[in-house]
């Protein structure tokens, strides 16, 4: 019988460039997204949105980002433009997890952003539970207002991360993890 925490104890990321077809779709995708949005949400604000990038939309988004980065930096080498153009091409599904912040709420902004971050993390765990690989990435586009505009985000919204989901094309070795004793202390008065 597997340990009840085995999914968490085995969680790891698969590099986005090593994710290929197939990816979740249909009922499986809907179940993954439903599970992802079951997160702590102080004040029931629902401070998150999801934007799915699939198929030609991924390529179009990458093209627009490459144009934006070239406009900002006209001397950018072709290799960097190509990286911007193709960074969303590998995994069959990319989910932009968006923080939808209500600055007037009594709930602190950081709590709203952490709720959206939990959505991204649930996507990682859910993808792994379904047998897929996933990676949570940001990159400059997650922090750029014009890139947010390309995604159609409102002024009170920003990208928490792009979660790339697909089938691992390689066996991913686990990385070294912190020793619990190095990060844990017991508070005493």
70 is in an annotated binding site: no
164 is in an annotated binding site: no
175 is in an annotated binding site: no
The residues pairing with 20 across neighbouring beta strands, listed in sequence order, are 167
d(CA 98, CA 158): 5
Q: For the chain, where are the alpha helices, taking DSSP H only?
A: 6-9, 26-36, 55-72, 78-86, 109-129, 145-150, 180-183
187 is in an annotated binding site: no
136 is in an annotated binding site: yes
At how many degrees (to 10) do helices 26-36 and 109-129 cross? Answer: 140
The residues pairing with 19 across neighbouring beta strands, listed in sequence order, are 168
d(CA 161, CA 135): 10
Per-residue burial over 153-186, b if 16 or more Cβ lie within 10 Å, else e, is beeebbbbbbbbbbbbeeeeeeeeeeeeeeeeee
Q: Which residue has the tokens 């923080």?
A: 99
d(CA 148, CA 67): 14
13 is in an annotated binding site: yes
Known binding residues are 11-13, 38, 42, 136-138
Annotated binding site for FMN: 11-13, 38, 42, 136-138
């Amino acid at each position: 019988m597997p340990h009840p925490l085995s999914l968490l104890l085995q969680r790891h990321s698969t590099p986005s460039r090593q994710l290929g077809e197939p990816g979740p779709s249909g009922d499986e995708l809907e179940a993954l997204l439903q599970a992802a949005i079951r997160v702590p949400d102080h004040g029931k604000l629902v401070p998150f949105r999801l934007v799915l990038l699939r198929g030609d939309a991924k390529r179009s988004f990458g093209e627009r980002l490459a144009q934006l980065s070239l406009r900002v930096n006209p001397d950018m080498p072709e290799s960097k433009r190509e990286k911007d153009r193709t960074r969303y091409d590998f995994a069959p599904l990319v989910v932009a997890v968006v923080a939808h912040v209500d600055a007037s709420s009594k709930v602190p902004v950081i709590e709203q952003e952490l709720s959206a971050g939990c959505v991204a993390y649930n996507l990682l765990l859910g993808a792994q539970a379904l047998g897929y690989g996933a990676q949570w990435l940001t990159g400059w586009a997650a922090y750029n207002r014009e890139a947010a505009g390309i995604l159609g985000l409102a002024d009170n919204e920003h990208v928490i991360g792009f979660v790339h989901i697909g089938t691992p094309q390689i066996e991913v070795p686990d990385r070294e993890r912190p020793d619990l004793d190095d990060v844990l202390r017991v508070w005493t008065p």
